[in-house]
Structure formats: C-alpha cells, structure tokens
C-alpha cells in the first residue's frame, strides 16, 4: 500500500521517524511516510489528527478513547501494527509478592481481552 500521496503526522520520537511499521503477511515492513506536521509530543500528534492535519500512527490502547468519542477514525484496519512488548519491573533481588503477581495476571488478561 502507498502512503506517499497522503499527508501523515510524523512522530519524531520513533527510532526511524518517517517510517511506520506494519505486519504484512506475518512479516514486519517499514512504510515511508511524510507530512508537514512533525512532533515528539503525543498530545500534539493527537491534536493534529483530531484537527485533520494528516493521518496518524498510534497504538490503539493510546487512542481508544478518541475513537470511542468519534474524534478520530481508524483507517488501514486491514494492516496490523508491529507488536510492542510491555514489561513489568520490580526491584532486583525481590521476588514478586502475591499482590504483584495478581496485578500482572489481571493486566495480562485485560490486554488480551482488548486484543492489545
């Protein structure tokens, strides 16, 4: 697919600004994008998308509320973004308590239910 003819919002915090990563046929693929609006602040990027300054690229868990409110619309839904790992950390030398384990299990279950 071609995004070159569309104005895209470029996230300058990405490792490779100007490239969006998608899973295509099970393999990661970088797609080049360009646009007049560039930012390293996600709040600015969301505002730019809301105001129609271009197509944006963001994990669904970060913009789900904007979609639910009708402020942004999902496009390219047939293409999956590359999965982003989520890590849980606790101090070295300490084993996880039952509370921490319960929280991590709940978090994993919630993310799985939302397909994140």
Over the Cα atoms of the chain, what is R_g?
Answer: 17
CATH superfamily of 10-81: Periplasmic binding protein-like II (3.40.190.10)
Q: What is the DSSP letter of 115?
A: T
Residue 115 is predicted with a pLDDT of 62
pLDDT at residue 91, rounded to an integer: 75
- Give the count of alpha carbons within 13 A of 109, CB side only: 6
Per the CB < 8 A criterion, the answer to whether 9 and 57 are in contact is: yes
- Please report the DSSP string for 18-86 in residue order: TEEEEEETTEEEEEE---S-EES-HHHHHHHHHTTSSB----HHHHHHHHHTTSS----TTSEEPP---
pLDDT recorded at residue 60: 86
pLDDT of amino acid 108: 85
Condensed to tens digits (0 to 9), the pLDDT of residues 56-79 reads 998 888 899 999 999 999 998 888
What would the pLDDT profile of 19-57 be if each residue is shown by its tens digit? 999 988 889 999 999 999 999 999 999 999 999 999 999
**CA nearest to 54, candidates 102, 21, 5, 17:** 5
End-to-end CA distance of the chain: 24
Which pLDDT belongs to residue 1?
64
């Amino acid at each position: 697919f071609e995004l070159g003819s569309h104005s895209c919002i470029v996230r300058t915090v990405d490792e490779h600004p100007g490239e969006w990563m998608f899973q295509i046929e099970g393999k990661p693929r970088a797609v080049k994008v360009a646009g007049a609006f560039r930012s390293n602040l996600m709040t600015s990027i969301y505002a730019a998308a809301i105001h129609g300054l271009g197509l944006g690229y963001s994990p669904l868990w970060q913009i789900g509320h904007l979609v639910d409110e009708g402020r942004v619309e999902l496009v390219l839904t047939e293409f999956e973004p590359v999965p982003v790992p989520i890590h849980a950390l606790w101090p070295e030398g300490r084993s996880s308590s039952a509370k921490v384990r319960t929280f991590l299990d709940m978090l994993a279950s919630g993310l799985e239910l939302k397909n994140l």
